[in-house]
A and B are shown apart, each in its own frame.
Chain A
């Protein structure tokens, strides 16, 4: 089967009425929460995941993915119109996007952002389709040793490349691994860390951790900060970009897409890094760099393409290797497991409808976002006026229903409350939460592969460096760690963080 047969098959799956509907719901919800500050895709996906149990795995993943990339669109809308990045990925867009809006050119800025994102999304979709099968082919040959080393590399890279203190990220990965092994040990049946609580013998629910940390914990820290909302200033009159705008945007969109795709496959690098990098590249390349910061359309086109390409390409390691490269991908992986699908390279051959259907739906979803959102911008901006004091009780309510609906267990509600407090304390102490989730998802798999690899190698730990592919991953892990402790890189990192 060639690439196009696969894609056509995918579009057949995605074009079913049900899947189109879930895609539409996903991108609409995504745009909504992208517009609203104070709730991000992580919290929303965690909150809505239980609702997807009753639908087929394909529809569920299509909807959850839609929330994810829909949020990127919504985030840039508010960045341009109100100078308020709804999502972190849109921080860079604020710089020139809002200036354009102040000059009365909000329409063209929004249109270019949408078109750039759409182009990047299309390329990202094609990349997954092209790179997916060969990657999965290689991964199918992996034994336990390779899997362990690969996960080690993924976790270390995710922690090190993420923004913030990298030692704290690494510590949170370890903490996540520890939470992940709570429950019955699959090899011996021993109850670990379950404190005699029967509900814990199956382990801590994935959704409990995600909602506790990303919804409840987040709300607690938001309420600690004084609420700040700027008043809507820019008016959208003419959406059409001029010929000149388009001419100036083509290069930045192409380069932004390339940069975003590159950062996309790297674990840990959020879309903020990709959009920042592409913005810097455009500024360097520009004939007149002083235009940047004063409403240069390149400053909107490049980062918006980059963050969307990044978002799409994050699916590559998740779908082909079963390795989540970001917090949202950890959630997607969790959603697959809950639906009874073992993530990994076999997904593509055993559940082709899932893989290709999801990819095709992402392209359709991107198209929906362009077609539906541009005319509805006024409505989205109105939503900004919903005060946070009403928004957060609603989030609490939906979170509680979501968690309770999984097992009808009040205990899990209490556990969520506990994780909310835990998450808040961690944030206060400067610990990032996404690495915790990555560790939590990978914990059981990592332990299982470590034990199996050691058993098969007769207890000889050199197995991890004797197998060539595993050795490559181990060397890469060491290199990543080494590069990051170099003083020059550390300093540069600190600058970017500012």
Chain B
């Protein structure tokens, strides 16, 4: 039985490249293309976008010829949790200060692992935050409030 095209690595690789290339060309359309004597800001990106589309088409052809499946899991848990914990860090460090942001980032990102143990992670987060405060804020003098003033 022929596996579905949706599992084919080359199909998705091709689709991905075409999507990026087409987006780049579409946006670059608004920039002056110029001539090869005086290249405008749109010249180089348009060529790169076109190249990406060509590469993408190549992989679409290849996907008809070989069946290479995408290997391994999509690690959905990590894929969602890790970017989110970075966002959390970004939000907190501006509003709540260095210590809350660090603690949140460490504890939150640790939940991405299936071997997550709450007590261990909490202790580790406190240790690591203390270390980071000592090294970066006191040692290297990075100018972040440890805990933001809410007054």
Q: Which A residues are closer than 8 A to B by beta carbons?
A: 51, 54, 167-168, 170-171, 174-175, 177-178, 181, 185, 187-188, 190, 192-193, 216, 219-221, 223-225, 227, 387-390, 392-394, 396-398, 400-401, 404-405, 410-411, 413-414, 416-418, 420-421, 424-426, 428-431, 447, 450-451, 454-455, 458-459, 461
Contact = CB atoms under 8 A, between A and B. Distances in A.
B55 A171 contact: yes
Task: Identify the interface centre among B28, B68, B109: most chain A CB within 10 Å of its CB.
Answer: B109
A396 B52 contact: no
B27 interface: yes
A193 B119 CA distance: 45
A447 B47 CA distance: 11
Given A177-B48, A178-B49, 18 more contacts: A187-B41, A220-B82, A220-B112, A393-B106, A393-B121, A393-B125, A394-B106, A413-B90, A416-B86, A417-B82, A420-B82, A428-B74, A429-B9, A431-B13, A454-B36, A454-B37, A459-B36, A459-B37
A185 B41 contact: yes
B91 A410 contact: yes
Given A390-B124, A450-B39, A454-B39, A414 B73 contact: no
Contact of B132 (A388, A397, A411, A450): A397
Q: Report whether over half of chain A's contact residues are helix, strand or loop; otherwise say mixed.
A: helix
B6 interface: no
Nearest to B129: A397
Contacts of A170: 55
Contact of A420 (B28, B86, B105): B86
A389 B24 contact: no
Contacts of B110: 389-390, 392-393
Given A410-B91, A431-B13, A216 B44 contact: no
A417 B9 contact: no
Contacts of A401: 102, 132, 136, 142
Interface in B32-56: 32, 35-41, 43-45, 48-49, 51-52, 55-56
A399 B120 CA distance: 21
22 contacts: A54-B140, A167-B58, A174-B52, A178-B24, A178-B48, A181-B45, A216-B82, A393-B106, A396-B106, A396-B109, A397-B106, A397-B128, A397-B132, A401-B142, A404-B89, A417-B82, A420-B82, A421-B79, A429-B9, A429-B13, A451-B39, A454-B39
B86 A216 contact: yes
A208 B68 CA distance: 31
Interface in B103-119: 105-107, 109-110, 112-113, 115-117
B124 A193 contact: no
Task: Identify the interface centre among B12, B83, B117: most chain A CB within 10 Å of its CB.
Answer: B83
